[in-house]
Structure 1
């Protein structure tokens, strides 16, 4: 029997933190035979890693800063985006719309609610984001990545589903692989990233911190570090002066392969980063971004730290001596590092994409719609093969 093919809209802000789980969900839905469209902003439509099968529709999204003088313009943009979203829904006819946070999700969800289309929000962080807080009372379901989410009102618990944070399929293939062998005389591979744009504090602290490790550990180091372009030369010189072999770059296309080989990760505590670390099972030293909204990165690390899979250092205390101290504590012997890796693995929620897809599929279309939308794999492939970026016309 040919499976029912439905249409779903995924709405997300233009950052990797919002879009990475959206892309993972899109892959799951398409694998189930559904059609998926993305609503985002200009950044999201052009972001590296967007699947070729996923058409992107750019809508205006108002931003509301602290200055009230800017609010009227923001409201006007939201209303215009809402109108354009409804025009999209007239032709695409989604069964449900899911928002992943960020201002571009707001008009898409408001438009769906105006048309009586079921809506779901997914919160990647351990603190409910601004747009999701605004919409939590009006959506049909709330999916979370953590069991405890700050700023999520208790009265909404009846529609909360703990699913985790969807992870890219290519990363999920690493989950069943063994932690790379770490012996008393083997290489100690360290992976350092600071997010899509790198992080200057990591470039300044990590080389000197690694240089302070005991000789027996330091002599076995093999480092891969993502840096800002403007920091590359200085970081390269620092590693060279310490005699530590390091591969540096502004972007690594094969990041999943490097994660597979890593014994220890050092970096920020974004939701997608933690989801991938726990999916694969890699111990980490995490430095929450101090300017993150509502300090959500500090909240993100708590579960992994409590389990023993990571150590967290606030940025104001992130010094070379402190880093060296924490590395020794987590990698003092092969057994300790392997135990931390297993603790991180236990925090993973590998079924996040499937569980979130199940929630969306629970909002079924009317029987007549299901009959219309039934399509065999060849037709579905032809339709999705022509995906492109489009601007919704007002």
Structure 2
């Protein structure tokens, strides 16, 4: 494997699995060149921080409407032309997309040019981009079993969701009565509001907090912590060292994107999930229910969320070491720490198929 294009964008939830696969490629093939094609969102900074070449392309989100909606958008033709230009110049052995609207054009362009292509579908219910791409790529790597038949069964390889190696490898004892709160890479106002309401109750029980608010809500949340005389130094707009943050927490309160639930599982942490109700096809609820069903998590729908209810759940769990231990054990059983390496192995297979005369 000499040259690979990875493509996705929009949120950290899409980008982090791609970076985990990039790290696995670099570990197995140190001389391999990696090009990351993404959108004009936060992925550029994330990828550059990982010291990977990044180029952006025009892209906009599309939900529903299928082929007509996508190809009725002007940006798709501009992005497709740009992707073709980059692929012809870079000459990749393989292209893999990790979902999101920014990853659509490069995978489609690669297929059009005869380059071996694959996608990774991280959620239990795929979005429109991956549903379309699933018809043309050679392999669909999936986090969950495709029980509803969105993809051709002979293409699906269930590998789990790739998790950053530092989260898998980081090991330290959690702080007593400690929680980690976050709403994804961009924050979640509903979770922030519930925690603010819960602060007086959590303070009474001397709960240690670490809270990622998202950039737009940071100043407001920090101010509320100060008003409640709770340590505001524990509040930040973004946590870069998530491995340490997971390790220090006894319990995690967060959304339920696929990257999040697989990271929590890999870290062996009990969780309270508050799925984002407006996610495409409500996939976060489906994601969260996988861990709830095996006893690794509790799910609170956002329309039932209050500060009091959240505080009660937090305090009940932190006072019950036996339940926390059982939840942590079930989380680790769900984890797929080998997911990134499995994807790299799968990419090798479709490259070999191309070289030996198989279809890309």
* TM-score above 0.5, yes or no: yes
SS at match of 2:351: coil
Q: Does 1:352 find its partner at 2:339? A: yes
In the TM superposition, residue 40 of structure 1 has moved relative to its aligned partner by 1.0
Q: In 1, distance between residues paired with 2:74 and 2:35?
A: 24
Distance 1:151 1:322, change over 3 A: farther
Structure 1 gap ranges (5+): 182-186, 369-394
| 1:274-285 superposed matches below 5 A | 274-285=261-272
Deviations 1:195-241 (A, max 9, x none): 2222222222124335446x9xx533111112245644554454456
- What value does the CA root-mean-square deviation take over the aligned residues? 2.7
CA contact (8 A) 1:307 1:343 kept: yes
Match of 1:7 in 2: 3
Paired residue for 1:190? 179
1:164 aligns with 2:157: no
| Whole-angstrom CA distance in 2 between matches of 1:22 and 1:194 | 20
Tell me the secondary structure at the aligned position of residue 128 of structure 1.
coil
Q: In the alignment, which residue of structure 1 is the partner of 2:198? A: 209
Aligned to 1:264: 251
**One of 140, 143, 150 as aligned partner of 1:142:** 140
Q: Which is bigger in relative contact order (C-alpha 8 A, separation at least 6)?
A: 1
Match of 1:219 in 2: 205
Q: Where does 1:1-394 land on structure 2 (aligned, <5 Å)?
A: 5-33=1-29, 34-44=32-42, 46-48=44-46, 50-61=48-59, 63-64=61-62, 74-148=72-146, 150=148, 152-153=150-151, 156-174=152-170, 177=171, 180=174, 187-209=176-198, 211-212=200-201, 218-228=204-214, 231-232=217-218, 234-236=220-222, 238-239=224-225, 244-245=230-231, 247-364=234-351
Q: CA deviation at 1:347?
A: 1.0
**CA–CA distance in structure 1, aligned partners of residues 56 and 311 of structure 2:** 45
Residue correspondences, number:
351
Structure number with bigger Rg? 1
Cα deviation, residue 355, structure 1: 0.3
CA distance in 2, matches of 1:263, 1:66: 39
